[in-house]
Structure 1
Amino acid sequence: MFQALRFVVSRRFLSLAFLALAALTANPASAQDRRQNAPGEFDFYVLSLSWSPSFCEAAQERGGNNRSAQMQCGGRPYSFVVHGLWPQYDRGFPNYCERPAPRLARNIMQSMLDLMPAPGLIFSEWDKHGTCSGLGQRGYFEAIRKARAGVKIPDEFLDLQQAKTIAPDAIEEAFIKVNPGLSNSAIAVTCDRNRLTEVRVCMSKDLQFRACEEIDRRACRRDQVVMPPMRGG
């Protein structure tokens, strides 16, 4: 009986060890090297540009009435807005590198509303991603502004008045065409069930375009996506 009990306990121990190992290998971010969540220690940035009309449609479908949705989805007709500038590892990414994060100065938040039209988004991006940049508050948001200035939005997406159905590859090609030095390996399009959600552009620490295989692997795999028209006016 003792032998049988020892066998059961051993099997249970091995099963738990196997599950722990599987969890680590399934989530590369949890198995990072010594740099994990060390401010300033990362390989590149992702500039995430959100298609605002898709965000607003999704918020409306969820019945969302929060302040961020109200600010972005009424009044000014937004097209692409900045979601964030995210430090990345070649495998995985850091986040929340200072807990608690230093409170973002309100005047810095207000200075970014032209690119990121929701205070809650700006505060959360600082807490989650800005603290990993190794930059101070002003330096991080200046980097966002510089990164955004380095990406030209194709003219056909600046004043979209009717819904547009388009292949993700065609969106990438439109960006590549108007941004010298940008290649397919440095840009990825994301989507939800049927809508364009974001265009993600990979940049080096000095904000030059660079390849990023892992970001590209997480790109939208649909043949076509819908770009809802711009709102407000």
Structure 2
Amino acid sequence: MAFGRIGIGVAFALALSVCATAGYAQSFWDNFFRGPTTAQPVQTPCVLDKCLNGAAQKPAPAQAAPDAAPTPMAPPASAGMIAPGNFDFYLLTLSWSPGFCDTGGASKSPDQCSVGSNLGFVVHGLWPQFQHGYPSDCDPSRPVSSVALQETDGVFPNEGLARYEWRKHGTCTGLSPEAFFSSVKRARASIEIPDAFNAPREQQSMAPLDIQRAFVDANPDLRPQAMAIGCSGGELQEVRLCFSKDLRDFVNCPEVARATCRAQSITIAPVH
């Protein structure tokens, strides 16, 4: 009788064991015949461009704001980055030839600095400008003809400078070479040079503010906010004047005006 009870218990335990493993066996054979299952990825939330599982989420393409004001561009790093004609105003730079020659210019432009050249203010350049920065070298391979260079006689001190100014600055104006040099000539002709700078034969000393006032007095529409005086080595180097794109008016140019010479007094070398 005891043996019977033991046999029944053993049988019962054996049955439980078989039942417990039945699920595993079913799972095993299912996997064997079906092949391995592919685990579904767990979707994790992402914040900005980072996901919580550490994977980077590709950022969406930036969308330009409608009617957003363009950001002023700095000088381009390479040619062609700015469309010719895209600028805010012109900057006419008049170089004081004796000061240029006294501070290293003689080796760069011997003819300009030779005795008897009798040059005072000459055009350094007519430069398209942004309110902050400027474009340059927009199409430096664009040629300039000898016909166009005829417009530079008596304006630039030599043809080499005229060619350089066309490549670096003129190509950004949107004008042809002929039209650009004609514009340079027109801008220069619109400026009245003060009497104190008409071929002085003696060295002078003046405060930059007094030079500025002399130009304002000689050009009634000019204001200090539309110009700057440049100096180097204690000498007058240049006068810069800001023009509208049609060259009809002077325009305020804060960035240019802030760069004016701050010396109390500078030397104005005589012409020779």
Question: TM-score, normalized by length of structure 1?
Answer: 0.79
> 1 or 2 for the larger relative contact order (CA 8 Å, sep ≥6)?
1
Residue 214 of structure 2 corresponds to residue 174 of structure 1 = yes
Tell me how far apart the structure 2 counterparts of residues 31 and 128 of structure 1 sit (CA, whole Å): 12
Tell me how far apart the structure 1 counterparts of residues 208 and 185 of structure 2 sit (CA, whole Å): 25
Residue 121 of structure 2 corresponds to residue 76 of structure 1 = no
**What corresponds to 1:40 in structure 2?**
85
Residue 262 of structure 2 corresponds to residue 217 of structure 1 = no
Q: How does 1:48-127 map to 2 (within 5 A)?
A: 48-59=93-104, 64=107, 66=108, 68-100=109-141, 102-127=142-167
**What corresponds to 1:161 in structure 2?**
201
State which of 244, 247, 262 in structure 2 corresponds to 1:204. 244
Residue 228 of structure 2 corresponds to residue 185 of structure 1 = no
**What corresponds to 1:227 in structure 2?**
268
1:38 to partner: Cα distance: 1.6
Tell me how far apart the structure 2 counterparts of residues 128 and 42 of structure 1 sit (CA, whole Å): 14
| RMSD value, Cα | 1.9
State which of 151, 166, 174 in structure 1 corresponds to 2:191. 151
1:206 to partner: Cα distance: 1.2
Tell me how far apart the structure 1 counterparts of residues 186 and 234 of structure 2 sit (CA, whole Å): 31
Question: TM-score, normalized by length of structure 2?
Answer: 0.68
Query: Secondary structure in 1 aligned to 2:104?
Result: helix
Tell me how far apart the structure 2 counterparts of residues 30 and 120 of structure 1 sit (CA, whole Å): 23
Count of residues paired in the alignment: 197
Query: Secondary structure in 2 aligned to 1:46?
Result: strand
Pair 79,30 (structure 1): closer, same or farther in 2 beyond 3 Å: closer
Query: Deviation string for 1:115-150 (max 9, x for gaps)?
Result: 111111101000000001111001001111111111
1:79 to partner: Cα distance: 0.6
Tell me how far apart the structure 2 counterparts of residues 113 and 200 of structure 1 sit (CA, whole Å): 21
Structure showing the higher helix proportion among its residues? 1
CA contact (8 A) 1:163 1:226 kept: yes
1:59 to partner: Cα distance: 2.9
Query: Secondary structure in 2 aligned to 1:29?
Result: coil
Q: Which amino acid aligns with 1:176?
A: V
**What corresponds to 2:178 in structure 1?**
138
Tell me how far apart the structure 2 counterparts of residues 118 and 56 of structure 1 sit (CA, whole Å): 14
Specify every segment of 5 or more residues in structure 1 that has no aligned partner in the other structure, as ranges. 1-27
CA contact (8 A) 1:53 1:73 kept: no
CA contact (8 A) 2:96 2:120 kept: yes
Percentage of pairs with the same residue: 40
Tell me how far apart the structure 1 counterparts of residues 161 and 135 of structure 2 sit (CA, whole Å): 18
CA contact (8 A) 1:72 1:118 kept: no
Q: Which amino acid aligns with 2:230?
A: T
